[in-house]
Structure 1
Amino acid sequence: MEKQNSRYRWVVFATVLFAYFLIVSQRTAPGLISDQLMKDFSLTASTIGLLTSIQFLAYSGLQVPIGILSDRYGPNLFLIVGALLNGVGTLIYSVAPNEMVLLLARLLVGAGDAAIWVNLVIILSKWFKVREFVGLLGFAGVAGSFGFLLATVPFSAWIAHTGWRPPFFTTGIVLCLSGILLYYVLERKPKQLFKTDAAAPVKQKKQREKTLVILRRIFSNRQAWATFLCHFGLVGTYVGFIGSWAVPYGMHVYNMTRSDASQLIMIGLFGAIVGAPLTSWISSRLDSIKRPYLIVHLFVFLSWVTFLFFSGKPPYLMLVIMFLVIGYGNGASALTFAVVRKSFDMKEVGVVSGFANTGGFLSAVLLPSIFGKVLDHFHTASSSVGYRYGFIIPVLFALIGLIGGIMIKEQRQEAKQASELMV
């Protein structure tokens, strides 16, 4: 309780968000150099897709286990280790001599990334009161969007000036330093300031067994699967495409420079930054999550279908609008966790949120790899033909998200109960 009234909690908040900001930038930054890696290492499009997929595979596969382990050993340890793994993985990536080392580096980055969001949520819930915590999660989402934004024009310009290795090497060093800073801020300093937390770890052993019971219940719950599918359709298609193929798509199909192609990603990010607060506001005005969320899913689905309709090369103005809508959908995916909060007991919200988040990143694992195989298949055809058929993948994935939106059961009654519990 003392922690939640201290000024020091804002130091914790700023430090954790800075680490999250840097880590999120490394989810999509490698997508800026896909074509360079193909030239430098003679890689196929399928291998580039695998490089992205292996990172998100580690992320999605470790989401729920990390949540369980964090309950047992505490979130501080895993957040610190996650930042260090991310930094070490990025450093290895920057000096990689071959594709096997590149794959190992992305695996480490994905494992480190997996430890971030779940533990960020737990740490903020310990340091802030419930009313502050809910609002600050929104700020965390914006920090993530700015992390993605860093990996567009600024990072692209840096790469154009120095080549791709120095920017990744420097970022790796900063990430390692942020891990050391997290250790000081989360572990060393609080032990000096607060000496009343000795009994806290004893209570957490009983909750460990409850988590396994909750997991069994989740896998048989329709509402949990609805949130999983919603995230699969919105987050996975956005992150999977942005993180690997958006820049090469702009360069090959529209003959853009790397910097101009990275601006497409920035357009999507502006949509994402607007999407979370605006859709949440609309949802509260309508007193409904399902209706606005279904509309978002529908528009994102239609945007991907438009790529197919124009054979992979829509008019540029339409392309800008489509990237904006797809980015908006990624921002609006915050409503997935609003559904979770309104539908599940507070003791289950963390685990169900991890399950829903797994859906998004499982999609981000599958999309780049399958997309790359489609491009390889049409390698002898014109580039626009390869992309045209590649866009079938996000269309199908977005359709799965739309089905998830339809599956959602509106639970206004539970919302009142949840708000009473949170007071």
Structure 2
Amino acid sequence: MQKIFGGKFNGIREDDIISEVKLKKYRWIIYLLLSFSFLIAFFHRYAIGVVSNLLAGDLNLTATQLGMLSSLYFYAYGILQVPVGIGTDKFGVRKLTTGGMISIGLGSLLFALARGALTIYAGRLLIGIGSAVFFISTIKTISVWFPPEEYTKLLGWTSLIGNLGALLAAAPFSLLLSLLDWRSSYFLFAGISALMAFFIWYYVRDNPRQLGLEPEYAVEEEERNLKRIIIDMKKIIRSSQFWQYFFIAMVILGSFMSLSGMWLVPYLTHIYEFSRNFAAALVMVITGGMLIGSAFLGRVEDRMESRVRMIRTAVIINILAWIYIVIIEQGNPSFLILMIILFILGGVGVFPMTSFANIKKMFPRLKGSATGLMNISPFLGTIIFNTLIGWRLDTTWQGEFIEDSRLYTLQGYQQGFIIILMFLILALAASLRLKKIK
């Protein structure tokens, strides 16, 4: 015992043992705080679909305005991906994530107080700005605080935790809206965000050395600057292969996020006459498919032996699914078939995520710039599909209301879904031009 507490044990200093134990405990506190913050950001991404009918009724919003409201999150999130990457290096994760959570809290507060479109737009935009920092910050934290061999595992856990936020934004949020009105709910979210901002500022540190801890593994930290980013972007912009990957991810991931985050709940309530609570619960089907697809993504890649083949397969399955929905069944398939299709779309919807691995191989010296730009694609796609589907719904609206919100027609949804199909055909053409990367 004296050897343990007297200075050394088997050649290891007591201070080193204490330091390692402290490091292991503290890094999990930081990781859990940031990953839970990412869950909150993910929740806000999709919660708008559940509350959309209530907002339309209380604030007299059209489908186009609802589409814009949902898209503001994605405008902010997508545009800020590259600047956030620079900010984590320049200002540190602690400052960036504290500010991000404060922004989410202020946005939630404005949301709760809104009496018109402009105020609720501002609230949604602030929520999007704050949410934009957490994925990159969490990944940066994993790189700095954890040994390299744990990176992939924690990346998967981060994705899983984030998607739990999407699940909470479905049936559980709808249940909350049965207990509280939507304004009270967003007041609650503002309070949670304020509490999280305090904990982040109090606990999160940018690296172990700020606590006097020295990890046994090497920590590689990049110092980025605007000039380097611009040079890198010029190289990426000239690559046709990059833009083909970008377009495919934009179409598949963007249409998936637009459906699950905005239009699926209204579609199920208007066409199938389900209650909002039941329709919100059904959104979990497509999210569940995505979680299963994520879990088996590595195995599928091993079987298919090609990421390009996976991407093409995802495009083809999406095309066949939408042909069945909008052409064969005229936008109104049977409920059971629709659920099966949504589950399958969720499962293959994660396949384009393998694009990020190929992009990194294509630009090995660009140190994340290509990945940051690529990460804009799903959010741009969501904006496009939210806007275009909302436009078709408003154009075909026949003046009917349900619970003080507009009741849209089957024709409108069918035309909106045909837009997705048209983009998918273009994505198939792009996928056929992808080159296999070894």
- Structure 1 length-normalised TM: 0.89
Q: Match for 2:201: what amino acid?
A: Y
Counterpart mapping for 1:31-180 below 5 A: 31-180=49-198
Q: Comparing 396-405 with 40-49, which one deviates more in the overlay?
A: 396-405
Q: Distance in 1 between matches of 2:345 and 2:193?
A: 29
Q: Distance in 2 between matches of 1:404 and 1:94?
A: 43
SS at 1:409's partner residue? coil
Q: Distance in 2 between matches of 1:211 and 1:106?
A: 29
How far did 1:120 drift?
Answer: 2.0
Distance 1:254 1:399, change over 3 A: same
Distance 1:131 1:177, change over 3 A: same
Cα deviation per residue 1:328-347 (whole Å; 9 max; x = unaligned)?
Answer: 233333312222333331x5
Distance 1:281 1:343, change over 3 A: farther
Q: Comparing 373-382 with 213-222, which one deviates more in the overlay?
A: 373-382
- Given the alignment of the two structures, is residue 294 of structure 1 paired with residue 312 of structure 2, yes or no? yes
Q: Distance in 2 between matches of 1:39 and 1:403?
A: 41
Count of aligned residue pairs for this structure pair:
409
Higher helix share goes to which structure? Answer: 1
What does residue 258 of structure 1 align with?
Answer: 276
How far did 1:16 drift?
Answer: 1.1
SS at 1:411's partner residue? coil
Q: Distance in 2 between matches of 1:160 and 1:135?
A: 37
SS at 1:66's partner residue? helix
Counterpart mapping for 1:363-378 below 5 A: 363-378=381-396
SS at 2:306's partner residue? coil
What does residue 360 of structure 1 align with?
Answer: 378
What does residue 391 of structure 1 align with?
Answer: 417
Q: Percent identity?
A: 28
Q: Match for 2:346: what amino acid?
A: G
Structure 1 stretches of 5 or more lacking a match? 413-423
Q: Match for 1:314: what amino acid?
A: P
Q: Match for 2:163: what amino acid?
A: S
- Given the alignment of the two structures, is residue 27 of structure 1 paired with residue 48 of structure 2, yes or no? no
The answer on whether the counterparts of 2:250 and 2:377 sit within 8 Å (CA) in structure 1 is yes
Choose the corresponding residue for 1:380, options 398, 402, 406: 398
The answer on whether the counterparts of 2:48 and 2:261 sit within 8 Å (CA) in structure 1 is yes
How far did 1:383 drift?
Answer: 1.1
How far did 1:265 drift?
Answer: 0.9
What does residue 221 of structure 1 align with?
Answer: 239
Q: Distance in 2 between matches of 1:206 and 1:337?
A: 20
Distance 1:223 1:82, change over 3 A: farther
- Structure 2 length-normalised TM: 0.86
Q: Match for 1:279: what amino acid?
A: L
SS at 2:333's partner residue? coil
Q: Distance in 2 between matches of 1:255 and 1:340?
A: 43
Q: Distance in 2 between matches of 1:211 and 1:34?
A: 38
Q: Distance in 1 between matches of 2:131 and 2:181?
A: 25
Q: Comparing 278-287 with 214-223, which one deviates more in the overlay?
A: 278-287
Structure 2 stretches of 5 or more lacking a match? 1-18, 400-407
Q: Match for 1:277: what amino acid?
A: A
Distance 1:268 1:233, change over 3 A: same
Q: Distance in 1 between matches of 2:72 and 2:242?
A: 25
Q: CA RMSD for the aligned pairs?
A: 2.7
The answer on whether the counterparts of 1:23 and 1:175 sit within 8 Å (CA) in structure 2 is no
How far did 1:86 drift?
Answer: 1.4
- Given the alignment of the two structures, is residue 332 of structure 1 paired with residue 351 of structure 2, yes or no? yes
How far did 1:3 drift?
Answer: 11
What does residue 184 of structure 1 align with?
Answer: 202
Moved over 4 A (4+): 1-5, 188-192, 203-208
Bigger CA radius of gyration: 2
Q: Distance in 1 between matches of 2:61 and 2:224?
A: 49
Choose the corresponding residue for 2:230, options 212, 225, 238: 212
Distance 1:121 1:406, change over 3 A: farther
SS at 2:274's partner residue? coil
What does residue 14 of structure 2 align with?
Answer: none
SS at 1:297's partner residue? helix
